[in-house]
Amino acid sequence: MIEFYSEIRLAHIAAVISSGALFMLRGIFVGAGHRSWALAPLPRYLSYVIDTTLLTAALMLVTILPSSLYANGWLIAKLALLPAYVGLGWFALRCTARRQLGYFAGALLAYGCMFTIARAHNPLGPATFWLGN
């Protein structure tokens, strides 16, 4: 399966970007008062398809890459942020307008941290860029 590494990695990266972009678009629609569109079946099911693709590609990458790649804990840090991203995102799309912005910002922050952790392969994520490591 290692011969398909580059294709699986590309599918994973495309799904990460698509998932974040769709969440941001849905969040903007909720913030603009179009909650019915953001929670309609099409964007909801599209989100399920993208996230299933994302997780499937991630599991495939974890199984084909050497475990020493994950020795410093960056994957664990990224996975620890995943429930926060999902939970905050769920609340951001469904809660009252008063709290929606805070949940939305928190979900985007979790997404950004996961993204930078993955890019740096370091559990400190954004801090590695600030510290110059």
Residues 26 and 75 occupy one common structural domain: no
Average pLDDT over residues 59-73: 86
Whether residue 107 is found in the same domain as residue 56: no
DSSP structural state of residue 132? T
* Mean predicted lDDT score pLDDT of the chain: 90
Q: Is the pLDDT of residue 21 over 80?
A: yes
At 132 the pLDDT is 65
The pLDDT assigned to 126 comes to 76
What domain range includes position 29?
Answer: 1-65
| pLDDT at residue 69, as a whole number | 78
Are both 120 and 101 inside the same structural domain?
A: yes
Does residue 133 register a pLDDT over 60? no
Q: Is pLDDT at 2 greater than 90 in this prediction?
A: no
- The pLDDT, as a whole number, for residue 1 is 76
What mean pLDDT is predicted for residues 53-60? 93
Tokens 């994973």 correspond to what residue? 12
Helical residues (DSSP H) of the chain, grouped into ranges = 5-31, 35-38, 41-64, 74-94, 97-120, 126-131
* pLDDT over 90 at 65, yes or no: no
- The predicted model gives 52-73 an average pLDDT of 88
Q: Please give the average per-residue pLDDT across 108-122, as a whole number.
A: 92
Same domain, 38 and 59: yes
Joined together, the tokens standing for residue 41 give 């079946």
Exposed, middle or buried by CB within 10 Å (0-12, 13-18, 19+), for 132? Answer: exposed
Residue 1 and residue 21 in one domain: yes
pLDDT digits 0-9 by tens, 25-39 = 999 999 898 999 999
